Amino acid sequence: MSMLSLRLPKSMYRDLKEIAQKEGISMNQFITIAIAEKIVTLETLDYLEQRAARGSREKLLEVLAKAPDVEPEEYDRL
């Protein structure tokens, strides 16, 4: 494992300590989870942007044209 020294404003440190205690985890665990969530969010955004760049309106319309033209079930109606 690697070490990281982190400086936080006193109010943020106090909030972090309080929330971690409420969650029943250490502050280190809380910070690790928060960083992991942020990394996954950014990686997902990058992935979706790459997928969107490969798509096209024409391809979408081709796929939609294959769907049957039927009324939705009662439970699917708005």
Answer yes or no: is 2 within a domain: no
Whole-number average pLDDT of the chain: 95
* Total number of domains constituting the chain: 1
Answer yes or no: is 73 within a domain: no
Contact 30, 23 (CB under 8 A): yes
- pLDDT for residue 23: 97
Answer yes or no: is 26 within a domain: yes
Answer yes or no: is 74 within a domain: no
User: How sure is the predictor about 18, in pLDDT bands with cuts at 50, 70 and 90?
Assistant: very high
Q: Which pTM value belongs to this model?
A: 0.66
Q: What are phi and psi of 73, to 5 degrees?
A: -60, 160
Answer yes or no: is 5 within a domain: no
Answer yes or no: is 42 within a domain: yes
Q: What is the mean pLDDT of residues 6-27?
A: 97
pLDDT tens for 31-62 read: 999 999 999 999 999 999 999 999 999 999 99
Answer yes or no: is 36 within a domain: yes
CA atoms within 13 A of residue 69's CA, in its CB half-sphere: 1
Answer yes or no: is 3 within a domain: no
User: Domain limits at 38?
Assistant: 10-67
